[in-house]
A and B are shown apart, each in its own frame.
Chain A
């Protein structure tokens, strides 16, 4: 009898709690918060949380508080699938922020099946463009950046290339793009060498690529860039090093060994006062990935606002359809979704004197 009373009291308490949380809309975030990808994953998490906190401080969206439950996937596909199932089956979230190509590609079929909106603002493997109708990419694929980079390099007389790529979905996608775009632009690929995600000893790969005597080393790695730059410098190598937006690593830019590195850079700027607020809150600068995910969170919140205005239930399907119906967003940069993947302007940057300087703007 006492057990029954206790059970009824617990049920009543849980119902009351449920009512108290009825005005909270929960989203998910599956990002690498530990492991070699944690630096980027944490910046992405901060970007999302910053946008959500700002929205909540203004009273939420239509009076609903927004909460994001973050799961750590260590940039691993298998862990991502577990986290996806947890967030969708137990927490019933309709929108999940994601990053890194391998994990996102692993979750994409599940997103299609369960009609959950996946929002990627950091990964760029080409396969992401068509991985799932429920996957929205707020940045172009790496193929678009590499096409721009290859054309610029060949125009600068860097026609003999060697490729260093990470042996995972993003790295191999980058390698395939270099193999396609660099010859298309008039260059020739002399050699290619794989590295592992998270490795810091790049000397053997650098030496082998240097032996091919390239004008430029085309890089598709997402971790350990600073170590690669330092080892390149220690080995006394002279060829140009070129990459994509993943080169925008503050520590690498600040290190003298990266002088002369060139890369494409997706253009995204934060107003000074916003960047200052971010720094005051998290103690770090609002770098590229924080801006990207802040912008992505704004897109989701704008979409949610529209869904609630139209008195639709907040499902992945409604969020997806409404986002594509809105099409154009004015966040930190103007974004347009003609397909699942947004188009944005790209710059060519060069690292010099500890700074990353734009030397060419490309629409």
Chain B
């Protein structure tokens, strides 16, 4: 019973992390920007949806409005921060520091507006449990699995079957050539960060519906997602998603044989193993 429940909990956590990972992978593979402020957008989405639900908006409206605001905000970060820095020939390190600064501002503004206390979504059904044999999952956890899988499939379809998706892949593959062939990388970067911001809203809202909201809670998922992205192969959407689920499941199952405080160590151990034996990542070839 314990192993099954831990497995199920790991899959839920992994699916949510998977969406963070694929959204971050989209940004990093295309722009080469280590977009740490993505953790801020993840957090912001939850707070926006929470506010709207508190004001009486139906959940679906709250989700759609939050996604719209975060999409615009992501595009704003690219066009007004990263693009300006690039025009000034800023190094990757400078852009990373700027992104860290943006994250700190977002987190502190959220903490200032909403207080740093743990907030809970005022949704009575979110904590209700559906027993599946010996496994007990809440409706929100089941919704997290379904929405995350849909987001993964949707992202794969978008990347391979739409003109914008192909344009993004072309820019990611060779930005200089894309520029010469008038694919306009700068506008593609804005689209990419906007799409990634929209995607990250899904776990950004679903996870707090289950575990509560905190202004500083976005960084740990982003770090784990980054490890999954690198271990999965930079640029591989499947790699990022699969490795996120694998890492979360292993973290949970590791409890069967070792104390919980070692679970973060398990993540980094997996990372070190991959870096030693497959530094390009598990799904490096698949794009």
Flag if B211 contacts A200 (CB, 8 Å). Answer: yes
Count of inter-chain pairs, beta carbons less than 8 A: 75
B219 to chain A minimum Cβ distance, whole angstroms, is 11
| A227 and B211 contact, Cβ closer than 8 Å, known pairs A38-B117, A194-B261 | yes
The answer, yes or no, to whether B148 is at the interface (CB within 8 Å) is no
Considering only residues 185-237 of chain A, those with a C-beta below 8 Å from chain B are: 192-196, 198, 200-201, 203-205, 207-208, 210-211, 223-224, 226-227, 230, 233-236
- Contact between chains at A226 and B118 (CB < 8 Å): yes
Known pairs A194-B259, A204-B9; A35 contacts B216 (CB<8 A): yes
| Cα distance, A193 to B117, chains bound together (Å) | 24
Interchain CB contact under 8 A, A167 and B261: yes
What chain B residues lie within 8 Å of A200 (beta carbons)? Answer: 118, 211-212, 214, 217
Q: B255 and A226: CB pair below 8 A?
A: no
| Centre residue among A42, A194, A204 by max chain B CB count within 10 A | A204
Q: Which residues of B contact A207 (CB under 8 A)?
A: 2, 5-6, 9, 255
Q: Nearest chain A CB to B167's CB is how many angstroms away? A: 38
Residues of chain B with a CB closer than 8 A to A35's CB = 116, 216
Chain B, residues 208-242, CB within 8 Å of chain A (1/0): the string is: 00011010110000000000000000000000000
Cβ contact within 8 Å between B129 and A39: no
Name the distance in Å between A176's Cβ and chain B's nearest Cβ: 15
Q: How many residues of B contact A (CB 8 A)?
A: 30
Cα–Cα, bound, A98→B6 (Å)? 39
* CB-contacts of A153-207 with B (<8 A): 167, 192-196, 198, 200-201, 203-205, 207
Q: How far is the CA of A42 from the CA of B111 in the complex (A)?
A: 13
A69 within 8 Å of B (CB atoms): no
Among B5, B116, B118, point to the contact of A34 (Cβ < 8 A): B116
Contacts A195-B260, A236-B136: A39 and B212 contacting too (C-beta < 8 A)?
A: no
Q: How far is the CB of B115 from the nearest CB of chain A, in Å?
A: 7
Q: Is the beta-carbon distance between A39 and B260 smaller than 8 angstroms? A: no
Tell whether, in the assembled complex, residue B260 and residue A193 are in contact, meaning their CB atoms are under 8 Å apart.
yes
Smallest Cβ distance from B127 to chain A, in angstroms? 6
B252 touches A204 (CB 8 A): yes
Residues on the A chain within 8 Å of B131, using CB: 236
Cβ B2 vs Cβ A34 within 8 A: no
**CB of A133 closer than 8 Å to a CB of B:** no
Given the complex of chains A and B, what is the CA–CA distance between A211 and B2 in angstroms? Answer: 7
19 A-B pairs with CB atoms under 8 Å apart are A36-B116, A38-B116, A167-B261, A193-B260, A194-B260, A195-B260, A196-B261, A198-B216, A200-B118, A201-B13, A204-B6, A204-B255, A207-B5, A208-B2, A226-B212, A227-B211, A234-B129, A234-B138, A236-B131
List 20 additional contacts besides A198-B214, A204-B255; criterion CB under 8 Å: A34-B116, A39-B118, A167-B261, A194-B260, A194-B261, A196-B261, A200-B217, A204-B6, A204-B263, A205-B255, A205-B260, A207-B2, A207-B6, A208-B256, A208-B260, A211-B2, A227-B118, A234-B138, A235-B5, A236-B136
Residues of A within 8 A of B (CB): 34-36, 38-39, 42, 167, 192-196, 198, 200-201, 203-205, 207-208, 210-211, 223-224, 226-227, 230, 233-236, 257
Q: Which 5 A-B pairs have the closest CB atoms?
A: A38-B116, A194-B261, A200-B211, A211-B2, A34-B116
